[in-house]
């Protein structure tokens, strides 16, 4: 007597597709959703190369990376702040203060490495004070950093009565902001290093887990024993330090400190963070999205310049892209919630 075992065939999915085919398509759709910004960036580069043949020249790409680096460095710090559901409106003023401070110290014959360290420490201190006020006194970060935006900018003007500062800038210091390794700008390499370090901090350390936990639910993080106030203060300090670094690098490139520099930088940084997919209410996002978004916005502006389009047109296009990005991020978040 023999027995036979029959294996049930998988039921076809609606529309005649097998479950395996549906799963593959769903996985492919998820990858498109996950890397949508990268795809848009690549598509924009292709369009730019077709509309402006000089876009793909080595000189133009090198200048593009150099110009985007300073905004990118600041945007990395802004990403950490926004991941904790905060906001930092003072980054432009802190960057200007950092640039002026390093110029004044070098002008007084202080070693440029020590001058850089003092400038970065001052930026971190400003950030820590504003973050501490928000964390320990429960003041809105919007208001504390808005006060910093005005107050620190005023302090920057007071340093030299509103006049540019600088003198005999050492050549080694000039290389940081204006030097190249081959065709690659050193400031661009610094931007990449900062982004990689921040990415490793977020994804590979306990502190990075704390940042996401605080941004997702501050009260739940506090009840779980996480140092919520310390985390918030720390991310603002990092943001202030990176802002001052951007100011130092601009002074290095211009060989002079400008108290009026970086006006509106906070808006560019926030735009890059939002376009990169970081949730303004915290808890979701990352540095990689910000990195790609900074390059995307730089390519867009570079293309407008190559085509002879004015700055007003660039502002309109940037605003439209941000609105579209917000809508897409909302749709992606809803899709993830349903899944």
Buried b (16+ CB within 10 A) or exposed e, 320-331: ebbeebeebbee
Indicate whether 332 pLDDT > 80.
Answer: no
Q: For 1-10, 34-43, 161-170, 296-305, which range has the lowest pLDDT when averaged over its residues? A: 1-10
- 242-295 tens-digit pLDDT: 999 999 999 999 999 999 999 989 989 998 998 888 988 888 889 999 999 999
Residue 184 — left, alpha, or beta (φ > 0 → left; ψ -120 to 50 → alpha)? Answer: beta
Lowest mean pLDDT among 46-55, 122-131, 305-314: 305-314
**CA–CA separation, 256 vs 207, rounded Å?**
37
pLDDT(159) > 80:
yes
**CA dihedral sign, ordered 311, 314, 320, 326:** negative
Q: Note whether 60 and 48 are within 8 A (CB).
A: no
Q: DSSP letter at 3?
A: -
Nearest to 330 by CA among 271, 283, 295, 280: 280
Whole-model pTM: value is: 0.88
Residue 148 token pair:
């910093």
Domain 55-338 = CATH 1.10.3470: yes
Domain ranges, ordered by start, for the chain:
55-338
- In the three-class reduction of DSSP (H, G, I as helix; E, B as strand; rest coil), residue 309 is classed as coil
């Amino acid at each position: 007597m023999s027995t036979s075992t029959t294996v049930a065939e998988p039921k076809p999915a609606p529309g005649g597709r097998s479950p395996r085919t549906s799963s593959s398509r769903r996985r492919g759709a998820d990858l498109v959703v996950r890397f949508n910004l990268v795809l848009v960036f690549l598509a924009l580069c292709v369009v730019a190369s077709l509309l402006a043949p000089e876009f793909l020249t080595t000189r133009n790409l090198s200048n593009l990376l150099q110009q985007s680096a300073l905004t990118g460095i600041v945007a990395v710090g802004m990403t950490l702040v926004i991941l904790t559901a905060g906001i930092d409106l003072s980054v432009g003023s802190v960057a200007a203060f950092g640039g002026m401070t390093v110029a004044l110290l070098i002008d007084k014959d202080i070693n440029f490495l020590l001058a850089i360290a003092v400038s970065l420490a001052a930026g971190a201190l400003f950030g820590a004070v504003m973050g501490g006020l928000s964390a320990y006194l429960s003041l809105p970060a919007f208001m504390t950093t808005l006060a910093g935006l005005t107050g620190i900018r005023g302090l920057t003007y007071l340093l030299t009565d509103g006049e540019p500062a600088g003198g005999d800038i050492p050549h080694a210091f000039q290389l940081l902001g204006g030097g190249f390794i081959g065709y690659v700008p050193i400031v661009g390499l610094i931007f990449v290093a900062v982004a990689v370090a921040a990415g490793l901090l977020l994804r590979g350390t306990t502190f990075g887990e704390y940042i996401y936990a605080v941004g997702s639910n501050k009260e739940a993080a506090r009840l779980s024993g996480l140092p919520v106030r310390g985390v918030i203060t720390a991310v603002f300090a990092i943001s202030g330090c990176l802002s001052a670094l951007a100011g130092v690098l601009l002074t290095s490139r211009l060989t002079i400190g400008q108290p009026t520099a970086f006006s509106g930088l906070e808006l560019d940084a926030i735009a890059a963070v939002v376009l990169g997919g970081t949730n303004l209410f915290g808890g979701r996002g990352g540095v990689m999205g910000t990195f790609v978004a900074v390059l995307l916005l730089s390519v867009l502006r570079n293309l407008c310049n190559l085509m002879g389009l004015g700055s007003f047109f660039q502002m309109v296009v940037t605003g439209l892209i941000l609105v579209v990005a917000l809508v897409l991020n909302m749709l992606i978040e809803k899709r993830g919630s349903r899944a």
